């Protein structure tokens, strides 16, 4: 039996006496698009944060590539995040740096040389269709271009896993379709994408696993 690339086993996460996730299990295989969808407070973003080592469960186990990452040290969790592509809601572009400087950051954090980081960043921007805006500042980009720049930053280290939180929120249909098509292309290349969304937004032509989440009751 093949080991899932990502797996939660009977996980419970509690915030302010409220179980955001309760005895929750799910998995994702290599080269699969997993859609976590549901309303506000249902735990979609929490699932992403568990896999990225940004949130620890009160109970249960979190696995990435067979490693139980909820037992990792802080330093090990930092290196785990450097091996992933993250598009979290708080992962904004730095306003005082050019687009390419923003996209380079994960490569520099992974201790790549400046020249290699810049080369990778330019390739990622071109892959996402916005190479011509490399030297612009974020405020010069449209909402769709900013989201594509964030995707370029997420993939600059060529991760096996991309975690995306509300990837097409506030985008018009054309930009949403462009971003989903890019995510689909990464899945076809063997990357696993886990997306958290209020609605059912998925790329065409790739394996999709849908997981609907409901908000648990508050603890007494």
132 lies in some domain: no
Q: What is the CATH number of the domain that holds 66?
A: 3.40.50.300
Half-sphere exposure for 25 (CA within 13 Å, toward CB): 4
Is residue 25 within 8 Å of residue 10, measured between CB atoms? yes
pLDDT in tens, 91-144: 789 999 999 999 999 999 989 999 999 999 999 999 999 999 999 999 999 999
| 88: pLDDT strictly greater than 90 | no
pLDDT in tens, 145-194: 999 999 999 999 999 999 999 999 888 899 999 999 999 999 999 999 99
Q: Domain residues for 9? A: 1-84+161-167+194-213
Count of domains forming the chain: 1
30 lies in some domain: yes
Structure tokens at 207: 């394996």
Mean pLDDT of the chain: 92
Query: pTM for the complete prediction?
Result: 0.91
Confidence tier at 200 by pLDDT (50, 70, 90) = confident
């Amino acid at each position: 039996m093949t080991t899932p690339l990502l797996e939660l086993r009977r996980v419970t996460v509690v915030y302010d006496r409220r179980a955001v996730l309760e005895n929750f299990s799910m998995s994702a295989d290599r080269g699969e698009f997993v859609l976590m969808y549901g309303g506000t407070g249902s735990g979609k973003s929490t699932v992403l944060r568990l896999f990225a080592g940004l949130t620890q469960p009160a109970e249960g186990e979190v696995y990435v590539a067979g490693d139980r990452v909820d037992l990792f040290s802080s330093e090990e969790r930092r290196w785990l995040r450097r091996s992933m592509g993250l598009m979290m809601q708080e992962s904004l572009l730095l306003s005082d740096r050019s687009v390419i400087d923003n996209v380079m950051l994960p490569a520099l954090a992974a201790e790549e040389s400046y020249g290699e980081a810049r080369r990778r960043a330019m390739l990622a921007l071109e892959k996402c269709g916005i190479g011509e805006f490399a030297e612009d500042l974020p405020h010069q980009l449209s909402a769709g271009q900013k989201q594509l720049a964030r995707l370029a930053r997420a993939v600059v280290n060529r991760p096996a896993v991309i975690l995306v939180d509300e990837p097409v929120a506030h985008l018009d249909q054309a930009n949403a379709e462009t971003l989903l098509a890019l995510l689909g292309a990464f899945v076809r290349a063997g990357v696993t994408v886990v997306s958290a969304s209020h609605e059912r937004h998925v790329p065409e032509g790739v394996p999709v696993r849908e997981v609907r989440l409901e908000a648990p009751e508050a603890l007494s």
